[in-house]
Amino acid sequence: MRIIVVGAGVYGAAVAASLVRRGAAVTVVDAGAPGSGTSGASFSWVNSRDKRPLVYHELNVAGMAAHQRLAAAFPPGDWYHGGGGVEWTTDAAGLGAKVDGLVALGYGAKLLSRAEALELEPGIDPDRLPADGIAYYPDEGWVEPTRLIAHLLSRDVDVVAGDAVVGLDVSGDAVRAVRLEAGRVLAADAVVNCAGPQAAEVAAMAGLALPMRNLPCVLVYTSPVAVPLSRVVHAPDVHLRPEGDGRILLHSSEVDRGGQEAVDELVRAAASLYPGIRAATVESVRTGERPIPGDGLPVLGRVADLRNYFFAVSHSGVTLCLHAGELVADEVLGENRDDALAAFRFERFER
């Protein structure tokens, strides 16, 4: 089979790797370089602590396990970092109820005292922590997306970078070819839409109306600084994780709204929480766009009326990509995965 995957982010790379592993000939096309879009501007936190409904939570839990398996299979698996996640909020009772609910689902979660939290993250100012009611999720982690993409695309995947898809040739109930901006036409036995924020445009080329409500994501990267931060931390006014080479990645819902004032406030909040960050400067601010289908849930797998066209589009793409990518690849190769994908079909938007 000659399969064209549109988009060289985590989803496109994961789908392509799964297909190639099973003997398909795959070309991944992207308007930019692999990982240069949304995947390269993601907090890339692997989790399922706030994912609803249950079927979506279960999909994300399977995604978490897939990351752990891949990292174990290819040591050192330097793109994946475990260690769990720490969280506290201004609503201690609500957080406790969330932890109880997750435990009932079999998800790793427990409450810590201030002293126990400081054993995990000794760089936190103790005065910024509540006395107790701090949640810890031991099975969570984070990913360096560009390293993961490089690994996934390293084996017999043909990559066409810097050449946008401008059209699809459709005849009857199938896509026959993909047309690129530079004039090249790629014959296709199947096409997989992994175009992230541009998924609606690529769908429209096939005559499909995919509703999307993309949202901005603004990430702040510090200069290298000696701070003992080793996992994802969610405090009420700042989210942090290590970024490699001593850098710290900062995020909050406020900074997504943009503006230098929000960036400055985010850095102040981080320095208040981790005093060691006071020595850091802002090295870069990166803006991405979260691809969010109209109802917030993923769009995955085959399209009923276009037999060789498939979707792999969602928010939480870093968490989901490996597991969902396998499921989508199954369908590209002719297997029906309704058992896992029924809730995530494109056709729900046509009802």
User: Mean of the pLDDT values across residues 7-25?
Assistant: 97
Q: 268-271 long-range CB contacts below 8 Å, 24 or more apart?
A: 269/235, 269/237, 269/238, 270/222, 270/238, 270/240
CA atoms within 13 A on the CB side of 310: 33
| DSSP code string of 277-320 | GGG--EEEEEEEEE--BTTSS-EEEEETTEEEEEEEE-SSHHHH
Do residues 329 and 19 touch, judged by C-beta distance below 8 A? yes
Better-predicted residue by pLDDT, 351 or 271: 271
In the chain, % of residues over pLDDT 70: 100
d(CA 50, CA 45): 12
d(CA 241, CA 252): 12
Interval 181-225: pLDDT, tens: 999 999 999 999 999 999 999 999 999 999 999 999 999 999 999
24: CB partners within 8 A, 6+ apart:
1, 3, 332, 333
Domains defined for the chain, CATH in brackets: 2-45+146-212+294-350 (3.50.50.60), 83-141+214-290 (3.30.9.10)
| DSSP code string of 208-223 | ----B--EEEEEEEEP
Strand arrangement of the beta sheet that strand 165-171 belongs to: 165-171, 174-180, 185-187
Give φ, ψ of 236 to 5 degrees. Answer: -55, -30
Do residues 221 and 286 touch, judged by C-beta distance below 8 A? yes
Interval 32-68: pLDDT, tens: 999 999 998 899 999 999 999 999 999 999 999 999 9
Q: Which two tokens stand for residue 201?
A: 């445009």
Do residues 6 and 161 touch, judged by C-beta distance below 8 A? no
Q: 239-245 long-range CB contacts below 8 Å, 24 or more apart?
A: 239/43, 240/270, 240/273, 240/274, 241/43, 241/45, 241/142, 242/81, 242/142, 244/144
Helix axes 317-332, 54-73, angle to 10 degrees: 90
Q: Which two tokens stand for residue 328?
A: 């989508």
Quick one: pLDDT band at residue 76, thresholds 50, 70, 90?
confident
d(CA 261, CA 258): 8
Helix axes 10-21, 317-332, angle to 10 degrees: 40
pLDDT above 80 (res 266): yes
Predicted confidence at residue 259, as pLDDT, reads: 87
Nearest-CA neighbor of 288 among 43, 93, 2, 31? 43
Q: Which two tokens stand for residue 189?
A: 């036995």
d(CA 41, CA 290): 9
Nearest-CA neighbor of 308 among 167, 184, 193? 193
- Give the other-Cβ count within 10 Å of 67's Cβ: 25
Strand arrangement of the beta sheet that strand 2-6 belongs to: 158-161, 25-30, 2-6, 190-193, 306-313, 299-303
d(CA 234, CA 154): 34
Interval 101-157: pLDDT, tens: 999 999 999 999 999 999 999 999 999 999 989 999 999 999 999 999 999 999 899
Predicted confidence at residue 77, as pLDDT, reads: 78
Tell me the pairing of strands 2-6 and 158-161: unpaired
